[in-house]
Structure 1
Amino acid sequence: MNVAPKASTPSWPTPPEGGWTADDLDRLPNLPPHTELIDGSLVFVSPQTLFHERAVDFFKWQLQSLAPEEFEVVREFTIDIDDQNRPEPDVIVVREDVVEDPDQTRYPAEAVVLAIEVVSAESVSRDRETKPMKYARAGIEHYWRVEKEMGLVVVHAFELEPTIQAYTSVGIFRRRMKVDSPFAVDLDLTKIKPRREKSQ
């Protein structure tokens, strides 16, 4: 006897009219880790590559060791831009005075001085176009986009031009990144690699 399989009930949440809000991220049950809200839509993150993991770790720990005391460096933490946008940069530098409550799940965008995105295959458009536009309009002063080109790490660094609420390039860095804002850093980008190189 042939019995057709029952249609499975979708396990993802159905959006309300007008889309989700920033507060919904804290209320919706069973969301995958690192879910973002972009223009009222939930964005689920694909499994990340080893390059992505190492790059995020590198910037988190390097910046944490270099940041002045008034700043805190946090990885994969959402920020409030507006009611329909609560993205999660890979690394952020925030003013230390907003890091108070151990149960907090987000920071206000106005407290963020640097947002870093490590580009993945599925996030190219968001990291190159959508997110920088939103970060700039929210007043985040610095944005770094990290990519891999021909096996090398490349960092595209931008600074906010407040009169037009848009980013201008302050440099494209390969192998070494040296900038003075938001604080002085001198980074050896070649260290974003496996701990042990394979023997030739």
Structure 2
Amino acid sequence: MEASRPGAEPPWRHTWPKPPPGGYTADDLDRLPGLPPHTELIDGSLVFRSPQTVFHTRTLRLLEHSLLRAAPEDMEVLREMTIVLDDRQRPEPDVMVARADADTGLDQTAYRSHDVLLAVEVVSEDSRARDRETKPLKYAKAGIPHFWRVESDNGRPVVYVYERDPATGAYVATGIHHNRLKLSVPFTIDIDLTGTARP
């Protein structure tokens, strides 16, 4: 493989999407060709995801399967689908719970924030600031009532649970769960968080 000359432009430079004045819109994610999987839109800018860790994959699988078993029929558990919060915000939580009647068909690529009950973010090295600060503020502002942030504690998931205060429009921490996640909202949930560990 030929090395790039110092100061030379990388080969992808001329094919990389050039943002329009004012940034991209939520609808642009469905129209831009060749975007990497799981591209998000934050403040009109495209955000690309790095390869995920084994911790992220196992935790995501545990939460998704547990929520699928617990969710009532009028709710749907979705993995890695985007949410349109407004014209310049279209993040992709790792897992979300939405109203089942918000399903518009097999070609649907996003849900509207008013149809989402829970957004879950499993924190990665490259997403720490977004998952701890940026996304919770935007999810709360858009009216999503429940948010979970999941972090690794020596390879074990710890779930930080938040509920939106309708009076302030901000999330309030309601618990930190280490070995077991037992909640009554948005529906009855009881998850053994030690299930990601190998025997």
Asked if the contact 1:144–1:157 (Cα under 8 Å) also holds between the matched residues in 2, the reply is yes
2:79 corresponds to:
75
**Structure 1, unpaired ranges of 5+:** none
1:41 & 1:106 partners in 2: Cα distance?
A: 17
1:78-117 to 2 correspondences below 5 Å: 78-117=82-121
Unpaired segments of 5 or more residues in structure 2?
A: none
User: Contact 2:55–2:155 (CA<8 Å) still a contact in 1?
Assistant: no
Counterpart selection for 1:28 from 10, 26, 32: 32
2:139 to 114, 135, 143: 135
Q: What is the TM-score when the length of structure 1 is the normalising length?
A: 0.93
1:151 aligns with 2:155: yes
Alpha carbons 1:51, 1:193 under 8 Å: kept: no
Name 1:61's counterpart in structure 2.
65
Conserved 8 A contact 1:89-1:115: yes
2:17 to 4, 10, 13: 13
TM-score (norm 2): 0.93
Answering whether residue 178 of structure 2 is matched by residue 174 of structure 1, we say: yes
Which string of whole-angstrom CA distances, capped at 9 and with x for unpartnered residues, describes residues 93-151 of structure 1?
00000113110100001000000000000100000000000000000000000000133
Secondary structure, counterpart of 1:23 in structure 2: helix
CA distance in 1, matches of 2:92, 2:54: 19
What residue in structure 1 maps to residue 130 of structure 2? Answer: 126
Query: How far did 1:84 drift?
Result: 0.3
2:196 equivalent in structure 1: 192
Report % sequence identity.
54
Compute the displacement of 1:9 (Å): 4.9
User: For the residues of structure 2 that align with 1:175 and 1:53, how far apart are their CA atoms?
Assistant: 18
2:134 alignment partner, SS class: helix
Paired with 1:28 and 1:107, the residues of 2 have a C-alpha distance of 18
**Separation (CA, whole Å) in 1 of partners of 2:104 and 2:133:** 32
Equivalent AA in structure 1 for residue 169 of structure 2:
Q
Residues 17-55 of structure 1 deviation map (CA, whole Å, 9 limit, x = unaligned): 100000000000000000000000000000000110111
How many Å separate the matches in 1 of 2:100 and 2:12?
44
Report the number of matched residues: 192
Which secondary structure does the structure 2 equivalent of 1:12 belong to?
A: coil
Q: Where does residue 47 of structure 1 map in the other structure?
A: 51
Measured after TM superposition, the shift of residue 193 of structure 1 is 2.3
> Which portions of structure 1, spanning 4 or more consecutive aligned residues, are displaced by more than 6 angstroms?
none
Distance (Å, rounded) in 2 between the aligned partners of 1:29 and 1:187: 39
Task: Please report the RMSD computed on the Cα atoms of aligned residues, expressed in angstroms.
Answer: 1.3
Query: Are 2:156 and 2:197, in contact at CA under 8 Å, matched by a contact in 1?
Result: no
What amino acid does structure 2 have at the position aligned with 1:45?
A: R
Following superposition, the deviation at residue 176 of structure 1 comes to 0.6
Question: 1:36 is matched by which residue type in structure 2?
Answer: E
